[in-house]
Structures are given as structure tokens and as C-alpha cells.
Amino acid sequence: MSSCRRANGGLLVERHLADRRQHRVTGAEYDEMVEAFVSAVEAELPGTLLQWEDFATAHARPILGRYQDRLLTFNDDIQGTAAVALGALSTATMVAGSRLTDHRIVVLGAGSAAIGVADMIRTALVEEGVSQQQAADHFWFVDVGGLLVRSRTDLSPEQRVYARDDAEVREWGAGVPDLARVVGEVKPTVLIGLSTAHGAFTEEIVRTMADACDRPVILPLSNPTSHSEAEPADLAHWTEGRALIAAGSPFPPLKLDGREVPVAQANNVYVFPAIGLAVAACRASRVTDRMMVAAARAVGECAVRAGSNEVTPLLPPLVGLRDAAREIALAAAKAAVEDGVAPEATDAELRAAISAAQWTPRYAS
């Protein structure tokens, strides 16, 4: 309802609206709303890359599963975060002189982002020659209810993939294992945090891990800083500088042996612009899992090339991100061609198309 009145020679329009606040829609009504949006994108903007961002855990994975084989789409919180984490892990693996299949991975948190990270690493493990079950067996997940085991009735189908056999856990003794117990029993080489539980990677847990691993890979990926599972400076101190670290939030450089070592920030900016560039250049019709894994591996390769004899950051430096984006996009585009979701093209043709498609922020005077 509106009303008008004169003031200082002008006409003011006052709008009086009733309180229209209401709860968010859920269930079938929510699904219908999303479907209406997707259908409109398909009708009005065919071939557009649709990127999902900041959707609640309950909706994020079902939406991705519903549409990833229907249109050109990906979820940045699930797949983008996962690709950056895999990129950091790939770098750490190369720095440590090991193989991805050598890792024992403990994950704190079991939401959509954490499961997405595991799914991405699992796909990469399968590419290296292990079975799906063998790949899943590299993981131990811990959430607020303790270790994910098969007897738990509160697990989603995606979480159940990573649930451990109860018989294995019974050998550890009585009680539901928490993170400290799991780390003590598993002796992981990789510790990933996507729990938003500030300080969950305690000194005791980190030192236990470091006692059994020469180069522990520790990724406290929760953000903002107030939710980070650990401070990188503490992780470096507790491991005598041996930890390979990437965080989800920005942190100041570490001071190790008289030099400053930057802390890699696992920010999705390493992946989602490159994926957009790749699909635009190669004219992909879908974003496949192998495209995301290829992008992740390219992130690691860019980081290694940018490193030095003294230090290799787990992620490429931001100052060279424009060049890195082309290499990451090329890897994703090549995977798209191999997966049959993009027209045949040579590497040289893809590289030329990527260079031509990359936007240049140049403005007329």
C-alpha cells in the first residue's frame, strides 16, 4: 500500500508494506523452485555454465546429483573446494617424494564439503589403479558423533561410503573413538579439517601425528579464521617445521630457520575461474569429475614449478594466478575432450582457444 504527500515542493512516495517475512520453503516446494530456475536458464541461456554456491548441506549434494548430467554445471563448495584440497595434497605428495596411494587420510567433519573432498581424492586414487573400495579405505571420517562406522544409523548414503567396519574399531578398545583416538590408532599422513571446530587440531593430536610421519600434511580448511582447526604457526612449531600446511583462511607467513614461508590459502579462486575458462574455450557440454581432478593435479604442478630449492608452497602464488589459470584450464579442457563432452581438439588448438577466451582487464582511457 502506498501514499503520496508534498514536501519542499516535491512529491514524496511512501510505501507501507505489511510484514511479509516467512520461513524458507522446503521439501517439494523447494525442489520445484530450483527446477523452475534451472529450466529458465536452459530456455533463455542454453550452454551457460551454472555454478552453485553457498547452498546448505541438505540441498547442495542433491541438487548437484540431480543436474550434473543434465546441463553444464558444478558446485563450487563441493567440487571447487575439493579440487583445491586435492591440488594442495598433490603438491605435498610431490614434495614429500611419496605417492597418493601411500596416504592414510583422517578427515574431521563429514558435511557436503568434506565428503566432496574425499570423493575428489578417491577419484584420483582410482585413476592411479586402485579399486573404488580400496580408495575409500584410505579414509577415516570423524564428526560430532565420533568415527563414522557402519553400525551408525545417522549416516547419509554419501557418508556411508567411508564408514569403517565395526570389527576394525573394536580392536581399538571400548568407546566411540574421537579424533585423538583415531589419530593415535591410524597414524595418518594427512589430516584435513572441514568441521568449523576452532582449535580441534590440538598440540597432542598434531604431535602424535608427527611422531609417526616425517612430513605430515595438515589442512585446516574451515573458514573464517575463527573457525580454523589450528593456527599454522602452531602446526609448524609442534612439528618442528616438518608439516606441509594449507589453510582455508589467510594467515601471516611462518618464520622457519630465519626465513619467511607463506601459508598457502586453499581458496577456490584457484579452480572455478579456470573451469569457466576451460568450458568456454573447449565448448564442453558437461563438467565431469575427471575434469575437476585434472584441474586439481594441474594446481599442484603449477605450485611445484613456482617453488624453489628452499620452499615450495602447496598452492601457486597469487601473483602468477593468471598464467596458472591457463594451465589449469588446459588440463580441464583436455579431460573434457577425453571424456567426450567437448569436440575433438589438439593440445595446441585448446591452448590457443584458452588464450583467446581469457578476459583481459584492459580499459579504454
Gap between the Cα atoms of 79 and 64, Å rounded: 10
Gap between the Cα atoms of 34 and 46, Å rounded: 17
pLDDT score, position 58: 84
**Residue-number span of the structural domain to which 195 is assigned:** 98-266
Residue 104: inside a domain, yes or no?
yes
Residue 206: inside a domain, yes or no?
yes
Indicate if 136 and 215 belong to the same structural domain: yes
In the numeric block, which cell numbers belong to residue 216?
A: 605430515
Residue 51: inside a domain, yes or no?
no
Where among 250, 266, 282 does a domain terminate? 266
**73 backbone dihedrals φ, ψ, rounded to 5°:** -160, 155
pLDDT one-digit tens code per residue, 315-350 = 998 888 999 999 999 999 999 999 999 999 999 999
Indicate if 193 and 222 belong to the same structural domain: yes
Indicate if 300 and 239 belong to the same structural domain: no
Q: How many folded domains does the chain comprise?
A: 2
Indicate if 336 and 224 belong to the same structural domain: no
Q: Could you tell me the CATH number of the domain that includes residue 176?
A: 3.40.50.720
pLDDT score, position 73: 96
Residue 87: inside a domain, yes or no?
no
**347 backbone dihedrals φ, ψ, rounded to 5°:** -60, -40
Where among 243, 266, 289 does a domain terminate? 266
Gap between the Cα atoms of 228 and 328, Å rounded: 27
Look at residues 326, 284, 280, 319 and name the one whose alpha carbon lies nearest to residue 301. Answer: 326
Per the CB < 8 A criterion, the answer to whether 264 and 243 are in contact is no
Residue 182: inside a domain, yes or no?
yes
**247 backbone dihedrals φ, ψ, rounded to 5°:** -120, 160
Indicate if 221 and 311 belong to the same structural domain: no
Sequence-ordered alpha helix ranges (H) in 221-340: 232-238, 272-282, 289-306, 321-338
Indicate if 166 and 245 belong to the same structural domain: yes
In the numeric block, which cell numbers belong to residue 354?
A: 584458452
pLDDT score, position 310: 63
Contacts of 239 (CB under 8 A, 6+ apart): 206, 207, 210, 216, 218
Give every residue of the chain whose pLDDT is below 50, as ranges.
1-4, 6, 8-14, 16-17
Indicate if 110 and 180 belong to the same structural domain: yes
Residue 38: inside a domain, yes or no?
no
Q: CA distances (Å), 224 to each of 227, 229, 230, 269, 302, in order?
A: 6, 10, 12, 16, 26
Gap between the Cα atoms of 79 and 65, Å rounded: 12
Angle at 191 between CA 189 and CA 193, to 5 degrees: 170
Indicate if 173 and 285 belong to the same structural domain: no
Indicate if 253 and 279 belong to the same structural domain: no
Write down the pTM of the prediction: 0.88
Look at residues 73, 45, 34 and name the one whose alpha carbon lies nearest to residue 285. Answer: 73
pLDDT one-digit tens code per residue, 101-119 = 999 999 999 999 999 999 9
Indicate if 243 and 290 belong to the same structural domain: no
Per the CB < 8 A criterion, the answer to whether 72 and 48 are in contact is yes
Contacts of 236 (CB under 8 A, 6+ apart): 243, 245, 254, 256
Where among 232, 266, 300 does a domain terminate? 266
pLDDT score, position 306: 85
pLDDT score, position 40: 96
Indicate if 311 and 213 belong to the same structural domain: no
Look at residues 191, 198, 243 and name the one whose alpha carbon lies nearest to residue 222. Answer: 198
pLDDT score, position 361: 82
**248 backbone dihedrals φ, ψ, rounded to 5°:** -85, -15
Indicate if 114 and 189 belong to the same structural domain: yes
Burial class (CB in 10 A: 0-12, 13-18, 19+), 98: middle
pLDDT score, position 322: 92
Residue 15: inside a domain, yes or no?
no
Residue 60: inside a domain, yes or no?
no
